[in-house]
Amino acid sequence: MIGKFVEPGNKVELQSVDRAFGLVKEEEQKSYHSTVYDILSEDTMELTMPLEQSKLILLPVDSEYNLVFYGPNGPYQCFARIIDRYKTENVYVFVVELTSNLRKYQRREYYRFSCALEMCSRTLVEEEIQAIEKRIPYELHPGLPLKRSVIVDISGGGLRFICSQKYEVGTLIYCSYHLIKDGERKHYEVIGKVLGVKELESRPGTYEHRVQYYNIDESVREEIIKFIFEEERRERKMTHK
């Protein structure tokens, strides 16, 4: 399967991954350039050791990277862990084990993780909107009625959910849900801007919404990315048991 999208000779970009937070912030991110040397199995492949100013960069075993492969079918991305390194036929290589599924890659977009998470939402009141837009401290109004909904995918940039309530495009809404952080359920409250909405053909009266986070705290965004990274890794391990 992997051979349909990646083949020996393809260029590879490796981007640093932090075990605690997933992808490293762009301004702190270290990238390396390599080439696919050989595909060993559906989960492992050999990559040539990257060079920097004509010097070999010995990437440490057990370190993790975000890999972007550039081939004739366009760029593909996955996460991987280095499990070995050695010299073969006078070429220095390292072996990576994929820790997520291979997917089509679009630069500057966050990966959307498919899920089914319960969420509550409501439209912000005018006082809340004014405070947010003016970036002044505020407290959300408690006790206002919430609509139950289901998140169907989530990313570091936003989420997609379905709900019987139809929110208008451009509306700022309050979103409340739980994610697993360090083995425990943590409550998240974020503000989102509705980018798109459509009624589901198969379920009249139910609407799918695309939402982008609005003025989200970067530490919260990192926790969401970490959750996605860990869930991807957990699901892949379960699939390959």
How does pLDDT run across 183-229, given as a tens digit for each residue? 899 999 999 999 999 999 999 999 999 999 998 988 898 899 888 87
- The pLDDT, as a whole number, for residue 138 is 74
User: Could you write out the three-class secondary structure of 94-162?
Assistant: EEEEECCCCEECCCCCCCCEEEEEEEEEEECCHHHHHHHHCCCCCCCCCCCCCEEEEEEEECCCEEEEE
Which among 41, 70, 104 is the end of a domain? 104
Indicate whether 76 and 118 sit together in one domain: no
Find, among 195, 198, 187, 234, the residue nearest to 212 by Cα: 195
Indicate whether 125 and 157 sit together in one domain: yes
Indicate whether 72 and 185 sit together in one domain: no
Does the pTM exceed 0.85?
no
Q: How far apart are CA 191 and CA 120, in angstroms?
A: 12
- The pLDDT, as a whole number, for residue 239 is 62
Which among 51, 84, 104 is the end of a domain? 104
Indicate whether 140 and 234 sit together in one domain: yes
- The pLDDT, as a whole number, for residue 154 is 94
- The pLDDT, as a whole number, for residue 123 is 95
- The angle at the Cα of 208, spanning 106 to 195, to the nearest 5 degrees, equals 55
Asked if 48 and 89 count as a contact pair (C-beta separation under 8 A), the reply is no
Indicate whether 6 and 92 sit together in one domain: yes
Which CATH number covers residue 119?
2.40.10.220
**Domain extent for 182:** 113-239
Indicate whether 60 and 94 sit together in one domain: yes
- The pLDDT, as a whole number, for residue 27 is 39
DSSP 8-state secondary structure symbol assigned to residue 27: G
Q: How many domains does the chain have?
A: 2
Could you tell me the sign of the dihedral formed by the alpha carbons of 95, 101, 105, 110, in that order?
Answer: negative
Indicate whether 92 and 123 sit together in one domain: no
- The pLDDT, as a whole number, for residue 181 is 85
- The pLDDT, as a whole number, for residue 39 is 94
Which CATH number covers residue 86?
2.30.110.10
Indicate whether 129 and 231 sit together in one domain: yes
Residues in the chain, pLDDT under 70: 18-29, 106-110, 236, 239-241
- The pLDDT, as a whole number, for residue 134 is 78
